[in-house]
Structure 1
Amino acid sequence: MAFSLQPTLENELIILRPLVTNDFEELYQVAKDPLIWEQHQNPDRWKKMVFKEFFKGAIDSKAAFAVIDKSTNVIIGSTRFKLSEKSSSAIEIGWTFLSRNYWGGTYNRSFKTLLITYALQYFDNVLFLVNENNFRSQKAVRKLGGKLAHELDTDLSYLEDERKGALTFILRK
């Protein structure tokens, strides 16, 4: 089976399926909460015009997912893959946000585990680039087993990102 940037994945809690243009309004109902973005490098992403640009980027990436609560069939967030520009053995998971009603670990861990498990079938490293001030996301990635690139014994500094203020967390096969 070949790697796909947009497989449909599911478990007992979550369905991850490719994000489509018609998902905009339902996803914006989640994204319009300013508290979701308060630690984000783009804290005004809750504004509709700003979110439209983010959503367009997600659709154009052909690697974005709608995160769906399986019990209600409601979109509760979004995430996406990005192939690493620096290494063919790494893929990034990012651009993730989740309705505050689902914060607290269970749902985030559930869908990220789906993505990580799938990605590690094809790549040696899964990357998470997290804003240096986004302590909530840093904590969540650490709970998944992510380590800062400079904390690893093996030199993976070539995977460090140039994005201003981003920390690179790595999960390895």
Structure 2
Amino acid sequence: MLDLPTLSSNGITLKPLMLSHATDLMEACQDGELWKINETSVPEPDKVIDYINTADSMPDRQAFVVIDESNGKAIGTTSFHDILPTSKRLEIGYTWYAKSYWRTHVNTTCKLMLLSYIFETLKYQTVGWRTDIDNYRSQQAIERLGAKKDGVIRGNRVRRDGIISDTVMYSVVSSEWPQIKSKLVEKSQSVY
């Protein structure tokens, strides 16, 4: 398993997700009633502790909490998952933020920190993302990062409403990172 660092930039800190973050995350997921969005993995407020325990128990997932340094509160989560050390590939997912942080510098800053760590410290070759075929907001956010669409996996996920759905896959490879990094640095500085 990877050693999770604490990363900080532009007023945002990422550190390992712990039960002590539960109260803040209960509040964060209520900002926009995010658990009502079928295509996401945001927990219901009363299931945040289960969400944290599940993240902690998954052998191929390592979860971060996202902290707004201006108030010290947890505003969401993101994770490394499907970690394949031999092929130097992992995915970033289980990402969600309180709705009041959507379309702010938060996602760009988090991805810049995570991708820098993955490509420059861990020396991984590929980072992937996956999202529901109907989650257009997430697809647009991933594409804004500079990730390329790899394709669609049909019928491989069950939404919280029980509907079987397709997954859209994206990735960035290490050779693309320098160009993507410069764009993310520019974006993170212009929106903060």
Question: Counterpart in 1 of 2:125?
Answer: 124
* Residue 141 (structure 1) shift: 0.5
1:31 aligned partner? 29
State the match for 2:107 in structure 1.
108
* Contact 2:26–2:45 under 8 Å retained in 1: no
Q: Partner of 1:154 in structure 2?
A: none
Q: Is the 8 A contact 1:18 1:64 kept in 2?
A: yes
Q: Which runs of 5+ in 2 are unaligned?
A: 158-165, 175-192
Counterpart for residue 67 of structure 1: 66
Moved more, 126-135 or 160-169: 160-169
Report the equivalent of 2:96.
97
Alignment of 1:9-20 (within 5 A): 9-20=7-18
2:46 aligned partner = 48
2:54 corresponds to: 57
User: Which has the larger strand fraction?
Assistant: 2
Q: Secondary structure at the match of 1:7?
A: coil
Asked if structure 1 preserves the Cα contact closer than 8 Å seen for 2:93 and 2:129, the reply is: yes
Seen in structure 2, the aligned counterparts of structure 1 residues 41 and 170 have a Cα distance that, compared at 3 Å, is: same
Size of the alignment, in residue pairs?
162
Structure 2 distance, partners of 1:4, 1:148, is 26
Task: Supply the RMSD in Å over aligned alpha carbons.
Answer: 2.7
Aligned to 2:80: 81
Is it true that 1:163 corresponds to 2:164 in the alignment?
A: no
Q: Which moved more, 1:128-137 or 1:160-169?
A: 160-169
Aligned equivalents of 1:127, 1:92: Cα separation in 2: 4
What is residue 173 of structure 2 aligned with on the other side? 172
Segment drifting more, 94-103 vs 62-71: 62-71
2:20 pairs with one of 8, 19, 22: 22
Q: CA, structure 1 residues 5+138, in 2 after alignment: closer, same or farther (shift >3 Å)?
A: farther
Alpha-carbon separation, structure 2, partners of 1:162 and 1:5: 33
The alpha carbon displacement at 1:4 in A equals 3.1
For the residues of structure 1 that align with 2:142 and 2:88, how far apart are their CA atoms? 20
Cα 1:70–1:146 change in 2 (3 A) is same
Q: Which is helix-richer, 1 or 2?
A: 2
TM score, norm. by length of structure 2: 0.73
Which residue identity lines up with residue 50 of structure 2 in the other structure? E
Q: How far did 1:143 drift? A: 0.5
Quick one: structure 1 residues 149 and 120, their matched pair in 2 at CA, closer, same or farther if it must change by over 3 Å?
same
